[in-house]
Amino acid sequence: MAVIQWQPKYETGIRKIDRQHRKIVRILNKLFDMQEGEQDLPQLQRIFDDLRSYISEHFAAEEDYLRQHKCEGIDLQKGEHESFIDTVCGFQKELLKQSPVTLINLFNYIWDWFAHHILEVDKKCFTETAV
Quick: pLDDT tens for 51-60: 888 999 999 9
Could you tell me which residue, 25 or 125, shows the higher pLDDT? 25
**Residue scoring higher pLDDT (78 or 32):** 78
The total number of residues written for the chain in this structure = 131
Q: What is the mean pLDDT of residues 82-105?
A: 77
Architecture of domain 15-130: Up-down Bundle (1.20)
CB-based contacts of 43-51 (< 8 A; 24+ apart in sequence): 44/95, 44/103, 45/92, 45/95, 45/96, 48/88, 48/91, 48/92, 48/95, 51/24, 51/27, 51/88, 51/110
Distance CA 83, CA 80 (A): 5
Mean pLDDT of 90-102: 71
